[in-house]
């Protein structure tokens, strides 16, 4: 699950790239899709990562970043010479070179996007984990054309103080009215037409499963408390309600939470009395349903966000929730472990967490990943510690973007089926 809001990264030191090539245009043949929302092309032996292109096309690529000494260049396809049969021209009017950077694939169909994401997941798992995945990235329930799914949107403000989104790799704000992938209820309540007061720098909007639309103007005033919303999830014949901060972490596609919970429950087949660790547990989504199966007293969740842990304690009475760094808390946690749900941020769990989990000898681990490269790396670590991949499923939880959710089920390598 994506936790992009909480990820803070230091800017990388830029090496001497020589004379800038930004603005240079090259006609190139577009090669395979690459992880990150672009395709690979080459010009005079140099790699170009080209956005707004599709494999097999011939395009004119304009360099947006890089110089004569750069290992690779970033570029936008500003003219299509030979289009792919999968290209569409009726996508979002706000997408394209130099425009809104929220989406990567508005220029092709939702079905073809899933094919591209399948290629990315397959390549990452093969390269990083040596695992040959033969599956296909799947459409989530309720999603037909990739539009109107995003129930949580972080808007910036344009110069005239209306809702907008950032351009790709830029602080420039592009007006969007409406955003094609955003929940249509945001338009229904008139937020796109609103002109926000001076002092408001951004607006985070949540459209809940209960029909509410909550807009949080940032920064919050000293006397303001972030609102809390309630999300309902039905899976495996049960419905649970979860309190979560309006800007807190929650799956943004309405089909994601029930689909992921249903799959994880079926694959883990938890039995009454088994002991479960729910790591990076958020407000207790998986813990709530697993508590039904094993008994709440047998569920322990660990999460770094203290506010989320407070909600988890309310959402799943009887379970134990610990606030803190997962790797650090695992070092001091002395508890039997039969099953693990692992749902880390985009950077993945990492070697230390994977090792600590698997040294406990769980009979199965469900790894919910929002980055196939991080998943592939961590599956490689799991193999070192004697665990193998039983299955992998990919889900298109973020249509029109390059992001993809993947759930891997791990088990000890000596298990015989």
| CB contact at 8 A, 106 and 398 | no
The neighbour count for residue 110, using CB atoms within 10 Å, is: 17
Cβ(377)–Cβ(348) below 8 Å: yes
Kindly give the pairing relationship between strand 72-82 and strand 299-303: unpaired
The verdict on whether omega for the bond into residue 302 sits within 30 degrees of 0, i.e. cis, is no
Binding positions for S-adenosyl-L-methionine are 251, 280, 303, 343
d(CA 252, CA 403): 12
CB 407 within 8 A of CB 365: no
Catalytic position from the list 39, 100, 281, 370: 370
Per the annotation, where are the binding residues? 251, 280, 303, 343
CB 35 within 8 A of CB 119: no
Of 207, 164, 216, 210, nearest to 188 by C-alpha is: 207
Return the SS3 of 176: coil
SS (HEC) of 39-77: EEEEECCEEEEEECCCCCCEEEEEEEECECCCCEEEEEE
Report the distance separating Cα 270 and Cα 347, nearest Å: 28
How far apart, in whole angstroms, are the C-alpha atoms of residue 207 and residue 203? 13
Residue 179 annotated as catalytic:
no
269 φ/ψ angles, rounded to the nearest 5 degrees: 45, 55
Tokens of 295: 């008994």
Task: Tell me if 216 sits within 8 A of 203, measured CB to CB.
Answer: yes
- Rounded-to-integer distance, Cα 82 and Cα 87, Å: 10
> Which of 358-393 are b and which e, b meaning 16 or more Cβ less than 10 Å from the residue's Cβ?
bebebebbbbbbbbbbbbbbbbbbbbebebebeebb
CA distance 363 to 274: 10
Query: Is it true that the peptide bond before 219 is cis, omega within 30 degrees of 0?
Result: yes
> Which tokens is 266 given?
């079926």
Active site positions, annotated: 370
């Amino acid at each position: 699950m994506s936790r992009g809001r909480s990820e803070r990264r230091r800017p990388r030191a830029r090496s001497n790239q020589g004379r800038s090539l930004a603005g240079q245009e090259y006609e190139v043949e577009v090669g395979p899709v690459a992880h990150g929302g672009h395709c690979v092309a080459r010009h005079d032996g140099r790699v170009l990562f080209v956005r707004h292109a599709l494999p097999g096309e011939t395009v004119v690529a304009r360099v947006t970043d890089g110089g004569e000494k750069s290992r690779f260049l970033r570029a936008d396809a500003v003219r299509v010479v030979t289009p792919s049969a999968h290209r569409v021209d009726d996508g979002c009017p706000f997408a394209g070179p130099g425009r809104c950077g929220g989406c990567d694939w508005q220029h092709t169909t939702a079905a073809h996007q899933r094919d591209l994401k399948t290629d990315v997941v397959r390549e990452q798992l093969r390269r990083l984990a040596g695992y040959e995945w033969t599956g296909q990235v799947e459409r989530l329930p309720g999603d037909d054309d990739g539009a109107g799914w995003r129930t949580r949107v972080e808007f910036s403000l344009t110069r005239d103080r209306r809702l907008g989104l950032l351009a790709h790799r830029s602080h420039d704000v592009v007006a969007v009215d409406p955003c094609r992938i955003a929940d249509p209820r945001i338009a229904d309540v008139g937020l796109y037409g609103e002109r926000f007061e001076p002092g408001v720098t951004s607006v985070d909007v949540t459209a809940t499963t209960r029909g509410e639309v909550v807009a949080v103007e940032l920064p919050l005033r000293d006397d303001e408390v972030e609102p809390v919303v309630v999300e309902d999830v039905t899976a495996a014949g049960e419905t649970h309600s979860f309190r979560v901060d309006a800007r807190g972490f929650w799956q943004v596609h309405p089909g994601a939470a029930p689909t992921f919970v249903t799959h994880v429950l079926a694959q883990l087949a938890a039995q009454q009395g088994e002991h479960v660790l729910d790591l990076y547990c958020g407000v207790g989504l998986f813990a709530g349903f697993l508590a039904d199966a094993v008994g709440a007293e047998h569920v322990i969740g660990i999460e770094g966000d203290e506010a989320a842990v407070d909600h988890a304690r309310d959402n799943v009475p009887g379970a134990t929730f610990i606030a803190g760094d997962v790797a650090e808390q695992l070092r001091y946690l002395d508890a039997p472990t039969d099953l693990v749900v692992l749902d880390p941020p985009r950077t993945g769990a990492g070697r230390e967490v994977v090792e600590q989990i698997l040294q406990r000898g769980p009979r199965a681990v469900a790894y919910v990943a929002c980055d196939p490269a991080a998943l592939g790396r961590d599956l490689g670590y799991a193999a070192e510690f004697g665990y193998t991949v039983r299955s992998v499923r990919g889900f298109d939880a973020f249509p029109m973007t390059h992001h993809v959710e993947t759930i891997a089920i791990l088990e000890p390598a000596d298990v015989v089926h």
